């Protein structure tokens, strides 16, 4: 596998149509697809970062500011062509260095990625995405250490 150059670049003027179209390349379950109005709201209220691979769009990280240095990952995705190439890990490592507290809700399919990246499962949210499809509330482990909590497994 040829190494790729991964860059996380802030998108100061995100185009809702662009991000709306990109999600169809990534998500195959209809309950994960946001409508255009939701994209407009998210893109105007959150910090948007494009994941660029060798200068081309490869995914995004969208962070909601929760105050006091806390950020919530509203969206984190990598286009299928770039998955399993360490692209997501590189982007996440950058984000973890730039924020004091980091949380998210994720799916069963992506939970192992976040757990390997230092996040800890705090709570299972039953039927979060759709009936029978749970969400998993995760928190970056550094936050737990600061509170004196033990991190396991």
CATH code for position 66 = 3.40.630.30
Asked if residue 152 is part of any domain, the answer here is no
Q: Is residue 73 part of a domain?
A: yes
Q: What is the largest CA-CA distance in the chain?
A: 44
Residue partners of 32: CB distance under 8 A and separation at least 6: 23, 107, 129
| Residue 91 counted as domain residue | yes
Q: Answer whether residue 153 is part of any domain.
A: no
Query: pLDDT by residue (tens digit) across 82-106?
Result: 998 999 999 999 999 888 899 999 9
Asked, for residue 70, whether it belongs to a domain, the answer is: yes
Task: Answer whether residue 79 is part of any domain.
Answer: yes
Q: Is 151 within the bounds of a domain? A: no
CA distance 16 to 116: 31
The CB density around residue 52, as the number of other CB atoms within 10 Å, is 19
Contact 135, 125 (CB under 8 A): yes
pLDDT in tens, 104-118: 999 999 999 999 999
40 domain-assigned: yes
Q: What pTM does this model have?
A: 0.87
Tokens (6 digits) for 96: 């973890």
Cβ burial, residue 22 (10 Å; 0-12/13-18/19+): middle
Domain that holds residue 105: 6-146
Count up the domains in the chain and report the number.
1
């Amino acid at each position: 596998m040829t190494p790729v150059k991964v860059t996380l670049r802030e998108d100061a003027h995100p185009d809702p149509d662009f991000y709306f179209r990109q999600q169809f390349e990534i998500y195959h379950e209809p309950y994960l697809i946001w409508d255009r109005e939701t994209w407009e709201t998210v893109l105007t209220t959150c910090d948007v970062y494009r994941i660029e691979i060798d200068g081309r769009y490869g995914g995004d990280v969208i962070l909601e500011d929760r105050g006091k240095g806390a950020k919530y990952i509203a969206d984190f995705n990598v286009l299928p062509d770039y998955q399993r190439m360490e692209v997501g890990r590189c982007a996440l490592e950058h984000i973890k260095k730039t924020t004091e507290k980091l949380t998210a809700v994720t799916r069963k399919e992506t939970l192992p990625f976040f757990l390997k990246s230092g996040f800890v499962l705090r709570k299972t949210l039953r039927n979060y995405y759709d009936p029978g499809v749970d969400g998993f509330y995760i928190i970056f482990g550094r936050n737990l250490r600061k509170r004196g909590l033990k991190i396991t497994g």
